[in-house]
A = this chain, B = another copy of it.
Amino acid sequence: MSFDRLIKKIIQTQNPTVVGLDPRLEYIPDYIKQKCFMKDGETLKAAAKAVFKFNKAIIDEIYDLVPAIKPQAAYYEMYGYHGIKTLEKTIRYAKSKGMFVITDGKRNDIGATMTAYAAAHLGCTAVGGSSFEAFAADALTVNGYLGTDGIEPLLSVCAQNDKGIFVLAKTSNKSSGELQDKTVDGVPVYALMGDMCEKWGSEQIGEYGYSSVGAVVGATYPQQLAELRERLPHTLFLVPGYGAQGGGAKGLAGAFDENGLGAIVNSSRAVMCAYQKEGCDQKDFAKAARREVIRMRDDITSYIKLK
């Protein structure tokens, strides 16, 4: 009932990062795609199979170095149910290799419907007298715009199944401030959302002092990262926007506590496309991903002291 499992993995690997698996087709080496197109034609099914092959090879090269992966649901939904099958398979494969899996779905709805999302992504779906984990992720990103009754169904699932959520607070994109920076009695909306995370997580605090309710705070806003770290002592941060989106490692230091904990930094494109940037042989794409993972770990940990 907290993020203890994730934090233990971070300490074990000495690596507070997560690899985002947002596999656009143009990221996937041609030889993989061609093989799949030969078998199933240029179809959504073939594309989804190519994505799984790509993901699996990357997971095989990084699972010993990185505590977690973060598949982004949109890049699977775009291939219809074939893509969703690949999402399921990716989650199960990463878990079989001991990784912590954060499904980036930014789901949100009213209470009754959020219960269905919670069952789908973090809990179990009952069918007659049987019960199934549909996606079986360890954590899910969510959007708190609907308030407490859109979050509560997740809290019980987190408590029962040892899972976690990350609620959007300050997102990494340019226009995030249009609503999130607006102030209510002098307090910006992103901080109000952060305060709600502290409240929602208050009964599920683990051994490292962090609850099962984390927050998404973008690497592109270092000042807000540091401000929110001070303000939200029990809220673990998922930090997107490092690398490709422009957030540097130095600016991330403020996201961490004095033990080098409290945040996990995501990188997607830089890892998946490392082989393109390196200009190495396509067949070495997974090894190039491993090299980028090491570079990123060393870059970020050079600014923090991880105990």
Chain A residues near B (Cβ < 8 Å): 22, 24-25, 33, 37, 42-44, 46-47, 72, 74-75, 77-85, 87-88, 106-111, 113-114, 116-117, 119-121, 125-130, 132, 134-135, 143-150, 168, 171-180, 182-184, 189, 192-193, 196
CA distance A87 to B145 in the complex (A): 25
CB atoms of B178 and A148 under 8 A apart: yes
CB atoms of A146 and B173 under 8 A apart: yes
In the complex, which residues of chain B have a beta carbon less than 8 angstroms from the beta carbon of A107?
74, 106
In the complex, which residues of chain B have a beta carbon less than 8 angstroms from the beta carbon of A78?
116-117, 119-120, 125, 134
In the complex, which residues of chain B have a beta carbon less than 8 angstroms from the beta carbon of A22?
113
Q: How many copies does the complex hold?
A: 2
In the complex, which residues of chain B have a beta carbon less than 8 angstroms from the beta carbon of A46?
127
User: Closest chain B residue to A34 by CB distance?
Assistant: B128
CB atoms of A81 and B79 under 8 A apart: no
Known: A147-B177, A173-B111. A121 touches B44 (CB 8 A): no
CB atoms of A74 and B148 under 8 A apart: no
CB atoms of B75 and A116 under 8 A apart: yes
In the complex, which residues of chain B have a beta carbon less than 8 angstroms from the beta carbon of A175?
146-150
CA distance A128 to B178 in the complex (A): 37
CA distance A139 to B48 in the complex (A): 24
User: Closest chain B residue to A47 by CB distance?
Assistant: B127
In the complex, which residues of chain B have a beta carbon less than 8 angstroms from the beta carbon of A25?
126-127
CA distance A109 to B103 in the complex (A): 13
CB atoms of B184 and A182 under 8 A apart: yes
Instruction: Identify A110's interface contact among B43, B125, B173, B196, CB under 8 A.
Output: B173
